[in-house]
Each structure stands twice: as structure tokens, then as C-alpha cells.
């Protein structure tokens, strides 16, 4: 597609359930990023994929969070045993090549996750 | 680690000029970027400075002083549609660290 696509756009679930969020990056973009944005806050880096290299998981807040990406395509972010503090907008971004700050990151519209 | 500071809110009137400042502390500096985010929308890239000086893109300009660890975004001829949050971000070798954002309100 023309832009980064994320699904679902909204997700409401009960505390303790697992959730899976999906991101389709722009075709040909080798770098893919996941961020978390709490209400009124900045973007919190979670994880970064670059081609077939080992992902940079340094931003994942706990072992309940994991993410996968197959090659240079779709990525999924999984949150296990959700907690209320996980409520936030989860944003995915892709860029033509990772590593350099000058490469614009193109963001999806995000998944708004609400934990009851 | 990396940290950034920017004002939380700025208000200006339509047609005016506004400057949003950003100071940063970082190890391994790869440049300063600016992103715009409207309420409920996705962040969109505005500009990037790797070297000292001013970069101009239409009504928007961005400035960087590496020796002062400081930059700013300058918005001219403000329009109502410029009301949004503006984030500065510093790059490392692999990722961007974003500031908490500045909420710009443009009044008629």
C-alpha cells in the first residue's frame, strides 16, 4: 500500500488477556520501528528491525512484550497478560533504510489499546 | 542515554511566527529531527538537521547548534491547521529518541 498500515485501529480487552498488533510497512522499507505513546506523552521506543539483522529490543518494557518480523514484511507486536498500564497508542513506523536519523520515519495511524 | 527538553505548550495567533526550542543530551549524535502530530493522527516528518545552521522548507525552518546541544523549529505565517504537537528527536546509530512534545495552539 501507499503508507504504513496498522491493525486493529482500536482494541479493547480485559486485563490478563493477550493481544497481537499488526503492522504492514511501506513496501521496500527495510527498517521497522514500534513505539508506545501514552496520552499526552512523547513516543517511547520499543523495538527496531533492520533487514535480517537481530532486532534491537532495548526498549521493550518487560518480558510480556515481544515482536516478530518476517524478512522485510509484516511485523506483529504481542503483549501477554495485559495490564492496565499497557493502555496506550502503539505506533509502527518504517523507513527506507535504518540507522541514520536523517531517514524519515513514516508512521501508521496506530492501534489504540485500552485495557479494562 | 539520551534526553530532550522542549516546552510543553506554545500559543500564537494566526499569521504570527513561533519558535519551538529543543535542548538535548545524547551520546552518539546523528542529527536532530522534527515531527508534527495532529490530535489522533500519525506523526509526520518535518525536517532534519545533521549540521549546524538553518534548514528551510516552505513556512517551516529548523536550526541546529551542535556545540550548544540546541535546536529549534520556526513556523512562519501561522495557519490554524498548524495547531498540533511538535516533537524533536535525536538519532543514535539505530533509533530515534523523541522529546515529550510541544502542543502548539494557533488562535484566530
Tens of pLDDT, residue by residue over B10-34, are 999 999 999 999 999 987 778 899 9
How far away is chain B from the Cα of A75, in angstroms, using its nearest Cα?
A: 17
In the predicted model, is pLDDT for residue B4 greater than 80? yes
The secondary structure element, H or E, covering residue A83 is none
Tens of pLDDT, residue by residue over B52-78, are 999 998 999 999 999 999 999 999 999
Residue with cell 513506523: A93
Hey, of A26, A32, A43, which one would you mutate to test binding to chain B, going by the most B CBs within 10 A of its CB?
A: A43
Q: Return mean pLDDT, chain A.
A: 91
Please state which of the ranges A12-16, A17-21, A38-42, B17-21 shows the lowest mean pLDDT: A38-42
pLDDT at A1: 53
In the predicted model, is pLDDT for residue A93 greater than 60? yes
Question: Which residues, 6 or more positions from A36, have their beta carbon under 8 angstroms from its beta carbon?
Answer: A43, A44, A46, A61, A88, A89, A90, A91
Q: Mean of the pLDDT values across residues B86-101? A: 85
CB A38 within 8 A of CB A110: no
pLDDT at B17: 97
**Residues in chain B within 8 Å Cβ distance of A26:** none
Amino acid at each position: 500500500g501507499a503508507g504504513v498500515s496498522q491493525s486493529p485501529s482500536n482494541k479493547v480487552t480485559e486485563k490478563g488477556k493477550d493481544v497481537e498488533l499488526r503492522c504492514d510497512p511501506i513496501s521496500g522499507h527495510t527498517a521497522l520501528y514500534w513505539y508506545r505513546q501514552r496520552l499526552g506523552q512523547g513516543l517511547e521506543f520499543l523495538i527496531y528491525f533492520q533487514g535480517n539483522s537481530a532486532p534491537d529490543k532495548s526498549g521493550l518494557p518487560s518480558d510480556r512484550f515481544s515482536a516478530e518480523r518476517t524478512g522485510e514484511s509484516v511485523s506483529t507486536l504481542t503483549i501477554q497478560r495485559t495490564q492496565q498500564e499497557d493502555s496506550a497508542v502503539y505506533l509502527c513506523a518504517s523507513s527506507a533504510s535504518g540507522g541514520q536519523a536523517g531517514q524519515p520515519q513514516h508512521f501508521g495511524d496506530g492501534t489504540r489499546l485500552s485495557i479494562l | 542515554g539520551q534526553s530532550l527538553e522542549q516546552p510543553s505548550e506554545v500559543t500564537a495567533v494566526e499569521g504570527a511566527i513561533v519558535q519551538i526550542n529543543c535542548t538535548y543530551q545524547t551520546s552518539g549524535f546523528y542529527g536532530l529531527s522534527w515531527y508534527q502530530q495532529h490530535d489522533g493522527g500519525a506523526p509526520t516528518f518535518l525536517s532534519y538537521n545533521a549540521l549546524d545552521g538553518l534548514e528551510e522548507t516552505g513556512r517551516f525552518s529548523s536550526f541546529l547548534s551542535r556545540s550548544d546541544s540546541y535546536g529549534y523549529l520556526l513556523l512562519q505565517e501561522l495557519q490554524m491547521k498548524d495547531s498540533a504537537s511538535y516533537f524533536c528527536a535525536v538519532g543514535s546509530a539505530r533509533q530515534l529518541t523523541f522529546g515529550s512534545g510541544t502542543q502548539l495552539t494557533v488562535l484566530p
